[in-house]
């Protein structure tokens, strides 16, 4: 692929990002009317996911891990029942949108480069989907709701029992769909290590106006059925036994950290460690009792709970965390596992790097539909021009619909 030509063309498209995405979906649905029924009524999150994927591909053209990313993306698209015909239709509409948005920059050479690039992307995604199917992995797992507990107005804890074996690693996440919010999938972290009975926990932060979080919090009941996608994510344990590590969780970012600690308490009960549990106020520190219990099972694990002072701005909690991190020692020896809102991950990663932590040892996930592409082993990059124009939502401590993923 002509990487330089692809990047220069995309830079032009970025200046008209909103227009380009609107044109793309208009072209796709006009020429393929039956495709519209595969998409939710609210297309804003879908728009974000599209540009997130495009931005990731263009900014990682030289990354040897790009093929793996596209294979996983293709596997994930099985839950949307994506067919070769749909891949072809998407490619035609994408090229039409790029040509329309690029103006004079859309030359014969640019069209050739993007045609070849999309062909490769499509092939790698379909290959990933094919490998998943050949391995016997379903497009999704049906799971029954066995527990639905509300903790105040903003938090719901769900326990689900998948009807067929659902294999995952602690720290990973899954996408969830429910008939109460048709054709919508949202990502949530799995909040426990695998159990003998196969059940999994999800922590749902309710967001006013969030289609999925309100459906799961307000309308879901025990006995209902949801769908789970194949688990994904790189926030998994990778620290050698006995080596020091630090866990930092903000808000419902406690879910994946809890799963990691459950695993550590079972498989590796002794290590030098730090656990920072952060919430905007004391009433949102819902994971403290669990954190104390798990930390007690891991000799050498020290727990620090951090909130803002009463009636203080929520940002004070983050500032207090920074002060606590700066008082720590031996940061170059620690692996760090981070979970929380995207802005939180960016800020904390920067602080830790300044304290001597190797950036490749700062582990976190960014979960769709967040549009700021990054890797799980490096600090987040700055927003691109197009992403700034897409009006990203404000930070929320409990916001799985706009995360994280998370979005946790």
The CATH number assigned to the domain holding 222 equals: 2.40.30.10
My answer on whether 172 and 108 are in the same domain is no
Do residues 201 and 290 both lie within one domain? Answer: no
Would 197 be classed as within a structural domain? yes
Residues 393, 390: Cα–Cα separation, whole Å: 9
- 250 with 372, same domain: the answer is yes
Band of residue 378 on the pLDDT scale cut at 50, 70, 90: very low
Domain holding 201, by residue range, is: 141-228
| 252 and 194 within one domain | no
User: Based on the domain organization, do 122 and 146 belong to the same domain?
Assistant: no
Q: With 0-12 CB in 10 A as exposed, 13-18 as middle and 19+ as buried, what is 129?
A: buried
Same domain, 192 and 115: no
Question: How many structural domains comprise the chain?
Answer: 3
Same domain, 53 and 79: yes
Q: Are residues 120 and 200 in the same domain?
A: no
Ramachandran angles phi, psi of 249, nearest 5°: -130, 130
Does residue 239 form part of some domain?
A: no
Paired sense of beta strands 186-189 and 200-205, if any: unpaired
CA trace torsion 293, 298, 304, 306 (10° rounding): -50
Phi-psi region of 186 (alpha: psi -120 to 50; beta: other; left: phi over 0): beta
Phi, psi of 156 (to 5 degrees): -130, 135
pLDDT band at 267 (very low <50, low <70, confident <90, very high): confident
Look at residue 56 and tell me if it is in a domain: yes
Task: Let me know if residue 343 belongs to a domain.
Answer: yes
pLDDT band of 256, cuts 50, 70, 90:
very high
Q: Percentage of the chain with pLDDT > 70?
A: 88
Angle at 188 (CA atoms; ends 122, 320), nearest 5 degrees = 120
- Domain shared by 173 and 255, yes or no: no
CB atoms within 10 A of CB 25: 18
Q: Is 66 exposed, middle or buried (0-12, 13-18, 19+ CB in 10 A)?
A: middle
Whether 238 is in a domain gets the answer no
Distance (Å) of CA 144 to CA 102, 163, 350:
48, 7, 41
For the stretch 300-353, pLDDT in tens is: 899 999 998 887 777 788 899 999 999 988 999 999 999 998 889 999 999 999
> Could you say which of 134, 162, 182 is where a domain stops?
134
Percent of the chain with pLDDT strictly greater than 90? 60
Distance CA 199, CA 185 (A): 20
Are 73 and 43 in contact, with CB atoms under 8 Å apart?
Answer: no
Which of 184, 201, 228 finishes a domain? 228
Question: 118 and 76: one domain?
Answer: yes
**Domain for residue 403, yes or no?**
no
401 in a structural domain:
no
Instruction: State yes or no: pLDDT of 404 exceeds 60.
Output: no
Q: Look at the chain and count its residues.
A: 408
Q: Is residue 104 part of a domain?
A: yes
Give the CA radius of gyration of the chain. Answer: 21
Q: Are residues 295 and 253 in the same domain?
A: yes
Among 169, 203, 228, identify where a domain stops.
228
pLDDT for the residue numbered 284? 84
Same domain, yes or no: 221 and 260 = no
Residue 40 sits in a domain whose CATH number is: 1.10.490.10
Q: What pLDDT does residue 269 have?
A: 67
CATH number for the domain spanning 305: value is: 3.40.50.80
* Sequence-ordered list of residues with C-beta below 8 angstroms from that of 148, at least 6 positions apart, any chain: 156, 157, 158, 220, 221, 222
Tokens of residue 97, six digits = 């949108």
What average pLDDT does range 130-157 have in this prediction? 92
* pLDDT (0 to 100) of residue 366: 65
Which of 136-145, 194-203, 223-232, 393-402 bottoms out in mean pLDDT, i.e. has the lowest?
393-402
Q: Can you tell me the distance from the alpha carbon of 56 to that of 60, in angstroms, rounded to the nearest whole number? A: 6
């Amino acid at each position: 692929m002509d990487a330089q030509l692809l990047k220069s063309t995309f830079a032009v498209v970025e200046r008209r990002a909103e227009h380009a995405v609107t044109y793309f979906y208009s072209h796709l649905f006009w020429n393929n009317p039956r495709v519209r029924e595969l998409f939710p009524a609210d297309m804003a999150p879908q728009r974000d996911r599209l540009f997130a994927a495009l931005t990731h591909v263009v900014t990682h053209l030289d990354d040897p891990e790009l093929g793996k990313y596209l294979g996983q993306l293709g596997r994930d698209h099985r839950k949307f029942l994506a067919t070769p015909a749909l891949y072809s239709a998407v490619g035609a509409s994408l090229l039409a949108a790029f040509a329309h948005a690029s103006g004079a920059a859309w030359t014969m050479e640019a069209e050739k480069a993007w045609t070849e690039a999309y062909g490769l992307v499509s092939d790698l995604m379909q290959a990933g989907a094919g490998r998943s199917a050949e391995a016997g992995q379903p497009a999704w797992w049906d799971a029954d709701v066995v527990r639905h507990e509300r903790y105040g107005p903003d938090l719901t804890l769900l326990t689900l029992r998948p009807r067929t074996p659902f294999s995952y690693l602690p720290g990973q996440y899954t996408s969830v769909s429910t008939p109460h919010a048709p054709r919508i999938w949202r990502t949530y972290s799995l909040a426990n290590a695998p159990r003998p009975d196969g059940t999994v926990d999800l922590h749902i932060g309710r967001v006013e106006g969030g289609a999925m979080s309100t459906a799961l919090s307000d309308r879901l009941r025990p006995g209902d059925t949801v769908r789970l996608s194949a688990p994904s994510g790189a926030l998994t344990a990778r620290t050698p036994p006995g080596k020091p590590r630090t866990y930092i969780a903000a808000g419902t970012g406690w879910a994946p950290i809890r799963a990691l600690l459950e695993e550590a308490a079972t498989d590796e009960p002794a290590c030098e460690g730090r656990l920072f549990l952060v919430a905007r106020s004391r009433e949102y520190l819902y994971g403290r009792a669990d954190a104390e219990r798990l930390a007690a099972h891991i000799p050498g694990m020290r727990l620090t709970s951090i909130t803002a002072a009463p009636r203080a701005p929520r940002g004070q909690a983050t500032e207090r965390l920074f002060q606590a991190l700066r008082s720590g020692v031996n940061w170059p020896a620690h692996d760090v596992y981070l979970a929380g809102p995207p802005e939180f991950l960016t800020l904390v990663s920067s602080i830790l790097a300044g304290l001597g932590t190797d950036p490749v040892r700062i582990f976190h996930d960014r979960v769709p539909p967040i549009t700021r592409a990054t890797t799980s082993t490096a600090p987040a990059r700055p927003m691109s021009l197009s992403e700034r124009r897409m009006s990203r939502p404000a930070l929320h401590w409990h916001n799985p619909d706009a995360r994280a993923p998370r979005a946790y």
